[in-house]
Amino acid sequence: MKRARQNFLTKNLFNREFNVIPFKNSKLNHIKRIVSFLIVILIAASCKTVPITGRKTLNFIPDSQVLPMAFAQYDGFLRENSLSKDAVKTQQIKDIGNRISKAVDRFMRANEMTEEANSYRWEFNLVEDETMNAWCMPGGKVVFYTGILPICANKDGIAAVMGHEIAHAFAKHGQERMSQGVAAQLGGMAVALGTANKSEEARQIWNIAYGVGSQLGMLKYSRVHENEADKLGMVFMIMAGYQPREAVNVWIRMSQLGGSQPPEFLSTHPSNQSRIKTLTDYIPEATRLAKKFNAQMLAQ
Ligand SMILES: [Zn+2]
């Protein structure tokens, strides 16, 4: 459903961008060939590696372009939504966010990502909304919805979700999705993003890429991205001093909610059961990595 909507959107943008230009066919074909060639070059030059997991990704949308947009989108979201009036819960979200972001920041500075660390503007807010959702935009802009707090249940559960969402931003999953969309559509999305970042279309692309509008924001990405965020998130939460077992318990509670879940092979997301197993199996490795990174930072 979401994929269909995204295709529809990007197709529309693509058609719109190219239909309004009254080129003759031959000239249009020539331009298409040049654009295709440039995109191949761009893709070759845009292969990056996700720190810690070492996964190769495609990302040619630079932070310098995305971060100012993320900060503006975040401020806009906060203006249009109500912050929780529960001061205690709000402070808990901010405290846990600060602890995990400090661990991520220290990791970046110890691993030649100082420029990136400097560009982050960490912020943590709790909005009054019963949707079971949380997300982190590029540059460290986090929102928790009150609806996800029962699943989190305690500070370690909040840290598990916080670590997971921050990991999506850290690994630049949204930019990777945008890059894939751009590559697939020969620049239609890039044109839209570059020229009309206040338009409704750009806002929708943004929301799709970052899961802002989705029910169950934690299930918004592909299996690969979810698994990677689960693993990175667990490393970050341990670095910040939280109990990784609670990441498993969050998904046990999620599975106990019931509701119909599609079989995993039909879904782009890992099933709750496979997620519980992956997280459980990863606790020793995440603990080893967290200890290593914390020691590395102390040595500096
Ligand atoms: Zn996720």
Distance between Cα 285 and ligand 1 center (Å): 20
Confidence (pLDDT) at 8: 41
Segments of the chain scoring below 70 in pLDDT = 1-26, 28, 32, 35-46, 181-221, 258-269, 300
Distance between Cα 288 and ligand 1 center (Å): 23
At position 26, the amino acid (one-letter code) is S
Confidence (pLDDT) at 232: 97
- In 3-state terms the chain splits into helix, strand, coil percentages (rounded to 5) of 70, 5, 25
Catalytic residue among 17, 116, 123, 165: 165
CA distance 103 to 193: 32
Q: For 136-166, what is each residue's pLDDT tens digit?
A: 999 999 999 999 999 999 999 999 999 999 9
Backbone CA torsion sign across 121, 122, 125, 131: positive
Residue 142 host element (H or E): strand 141-145
Confidence (pLDDT) at 106: 93
Among candidate residues 134, 156, 152, the one with its CA nearest the CA of residue 218: 134
Residue spans of the domains in the chain: they are 2-298
Residue pointed to by tokens 């409704």: 200
Considering the entire predicted model, what is its pTM?
0.76
In sequence order, which residues have a C-beta less than 8 Å from that of residue 16 and are 6 or more positions away?
A: none
Q: Is 165 a catalytic residue?
A: yes
In sequence order, which residues have a C-beta less than 8 Å from that of residue 203 and are 6 or more positions away?
A: 73
Distance between Cα 176 and ligand 1 center (Å): 14
In sequence order, which residues have a C-beta less than 8 Å from that of residue 167 and are 6 or more positions away?
A: 228, 229, 230, 231, 232, 233, 236
Distance between Cα 300 and ligand 1 center (Å): 32
List own/partner pairs for 283-291 with CB under 8 A and 24 or more apart: 283/234, 283/244, 283/245, 283/248, 286/231, 286/234, 286/235, 286/238, 286/244, 287/238, 287/244, 289/52, 289/235, 290/235, 290/236, 290/238, 290/239
CA distance 150 to 89: 12
